[in-house]
Structure 1
């Protein structure tokens, strides 16, 4: 060029060898590097499990710990003989779901439900308006399903149905129908609701619209999953959610929950604990194997240093971890030479669903991966690159599953569930568990790596609908408990 600079021009032809792509050997060299970075050894997993167990125990001793171990005031397991009609309301990040659950005993139930989509405007409005919308939808559902004389369940004038409300954001509770919000998601409800009693706000909305319900229980979805799964299969001991976020719940002996000793609850009683374990190893970062990509994800998040465990294993972040690796290789002039990479350089442009698709691509030429990169990012790839991308996705997905196994193992070890020959069932839900190929198998492999052969007695299974069925069963349990005069103020 007249300036003296050299202009490199790449002419594309049908001959793949002429394209400025990385060689198969180059990709293999890089893959070995990332295998070292993202692989968890059994010894490291056992160390993480031990640290995790200590964090769980500390959360039971004192309030305000990193893993908060929230008492839910759900007392003991369902008997399986609960009966009656109960309403459940599930407020998620996208939809509001209203359910009428007919609990029939013997682990059986029937459910009728309606969904109402939340608009972006509603998500940005203040909390009272958001709960007003919930109350309106609940009133509409009741009017349509329960007030007509020919409806299967005819609600008499003045009659009120018990309601279980699933609110999937962590709340501190000192009774089951009360909850002070601990952490609110940025961009969902513009004025920050942290520190407010969401049950009290919701009750104002129920009164405003004269909704014929009694708010019996405020729960989170993982606690609901625990109770629903046990109701259907009494061998279920733990519930876990591996989706956009992650969490676990299990039944703890009240004698071990030091921080609620002042409530004088019978020490032989059990209570469900909402672990909120996504916070494990936050702030100090002493135990989890964070890479530089994980650190970037954390620092660029809306809550830096918080939710450390969740940022390594949940569906919200896995695609971003892979994208950061690709961007590093782009910067090192290994990938996509001569191509415009601006689309893939946008944060969170690479969805975790893409990892799932890449791992499940059944074609020899990896045509699904061709489609992902060409359709979403206008990038051409070679077979060697596509094989590398799939192997990288597998490394990141496998690490997430093996870390998830550490969390399960910590609860199992703490509670001594492997000290008998009985199998320990874990009710599991969430998009990663249900849709990511091999995720459940990798959890099971991890549990065997931690416990040896007896780890095979820990079996995960698809959980029952905790936000609907579980919420209704908890409302039934709470009504029965209070009618019997057992801890009526809790």
Structure 2
């Protein structure tokens, strides 16, 4: 049985029906503000048009390159589209060295271009013309399909000379400097657009794309007349456009203050981008482990966990020394563990603290802490998804999902569905679909659709 004091400790993470409804209303208001030119500058859900207006039909053919940059690694993919909703993907992961994440932007793009050249050579395609879809998962203002201006770096990147610049042009110039591959950057998109496109390739009803991984963001299909920022010439021929919500910044205007905890405030205060991306800091893999770490410190202080151990001060110092010591993946492993053996949980505790065999009670307490942090994250994501599903003009809506937190947490999907059932309008039919290789395959599909349109 869980200690009443443990429940009390975690109470700030448990959202009431009133709080859920209130966050939902505030989110919907922010989306509406982000779409309107007059209120866009003040809105913190920016709703940038992506200029992707055609969803895949499933009949696309040909070979396309995709580049997916969104964290400490990036992927290069060769996607062969074969029609009949069929595709094969060959990919390779490359690291972004720590110094390049905070060095000059030109160095970062030269590194990427070098890896692209190696990849193309490995696949004997140095002489082939290869259209490339570039998944760039940072807040961008799109001025066209292949023009994306970086608004600001997130996720630990801070390369000089890139904010305010067109990242498509910077990649193109880095490829040209090398001159050893015929690669054309034909589209820039973020990982959510890739997820939506990838799922739409398999299910034509997909209208929302969501990533819950290192970061957290979503996009959805909106009617062109509602998107004030979309250039007028793009409204004449097509009825809809994918909108990149950039919802990670939701809350920067104080909208989430009534549900943020002392732990959220501490995570924010010690982050590189203080006072920014507040919704993301409550939902994304980059921060969830740190939230659990801070709660664990408080639990140790109040003698709510490892009560029998005289080494509690030692455990606390382990947690204090390193903000990243409690990895987000531990949350998934602990919630997936079996009772009463708790083999994975005990292994994690042993690795962290050197404690040979944590008691069943300690394991249950740790699991409850993880559950409350993860469930709140899933509830918040589902609130945002509900708002986007309710905005789309389709009666039937598939939500394409990707990202390590969603993919590997055993209950994230179930937690989300509980909230979606409460908030999605009764006349909508909806379901969630796991994206296969979303941001990679999706980028190739955008490149294919863009090449076809030309």
Question: Normalization by structure 2: what TM-score?
Answer: 0.91
User: Which region of structure 1 is more displaced relative to structure 2, 328-337 or 69-78?
Assistant: 328-337
- C-alpha separation between the residues in 1 aligned to 2:416 and 2:229? 32
Q: Which residue of 1 aligns with 2:433?
A: 461
Q: Give the match's secondary structure for 2:45.
A: coil
Tell which deviates more after alignment, 328-337 or 168-177: 328-337
Change (3 A) 1:291 1:122: closer
CA apart distance, 1:75? 1.3
Deviation at 1:82? 2.0
Measure the CA separation in 2 of the matches of 1:334 and 1:95: 38
Partner in structure 2 of residue 429 of structure 1: 402
Contact 2:63 2:78 in 1 (8 A): yes
| Residues in 2 aligned to 1:80 and 1:36: alpha-carbon distance in whole angstroms | 47
Corresponding residue of 1:168? 137
1-structure distance, mates of 2:171, 2:221: 27
Alignment of 1:325-344 (within 5 A): 325-336=295-306, 338-339=310-311, 340-341=314-315, 342-344=317-319
Deviation of 1:481 after TM superposition, in Å, equals 1.8
Answer whether contact 2:6 2:304 (CA < 8 A) is retained.
no
Corresponding position: 1:70 with 2:48: yes
Q: Spell out structure 1 runs of 4+ moving beyond 6 A.
A: 452-455
Equivalent position to 2:7, from 32, 35, 55 = 32
Match of 2:334 among 335, 354, 358: 358
Whole-angstrom distance in 1 between the partners of 2:169 and 2:190:
16
Partner Cα separation in structure 1 for residue 51 and residue 209 of structure 2: 16
Compute the RMSD of aligned alpha carbons: 2.3
How many aligned positions are there?
443
The answer to whether 1:57 aligns with 2:57 is no
| Cα 1:356/1:454, change in 2 over 3 Å | farther
Task: Between 219-228 and 442-451, report the one with greater CA deviation.
Answer: 442-451
CA distance in 1, matches of 2:119, 2:362: 52
Gaps of 5+ in 1: 1-23, 149-154, 483-490
1:238 aligned to 2:214? no
1:194 matched to 2:166? The reply is no
User: Does the CA-based 8 Å contact 2:382-2:416 persist in structure 1?
Assistant: yes
Contact 2:31 2:47 (8 Å CA) reproduced: yes
* Paired residues for 1:33-112 under 5 Å: 33-62=8-37, 63-64=40-41, 65-112=43-90
User: How many Å separate the matches in 1 of 2:391 and 2:155?
Assistant: 34
Q: What is the rounded CA distance, in whole Å, between the counterparts of 1:370 and 1:394 in structure 2?
A: 17
Alignment of 1:132-281 (within 5 A): 132-147=110-125, 155=127, 160-185=129-154, 187-188=156-157, 190-191=159-160, 193-210=162-179, 211-260=181-230, 262-263=232-233, 265-266=235-236, 268-281=238-251
| SS of corresponding position for 1:172 | strand
| Map of 1:378 onto structure 2 | 354
**Matched residue SS, 2:66:** strand
Flag structure 2 segments of 5+ consecutive residues without an equivalent: none
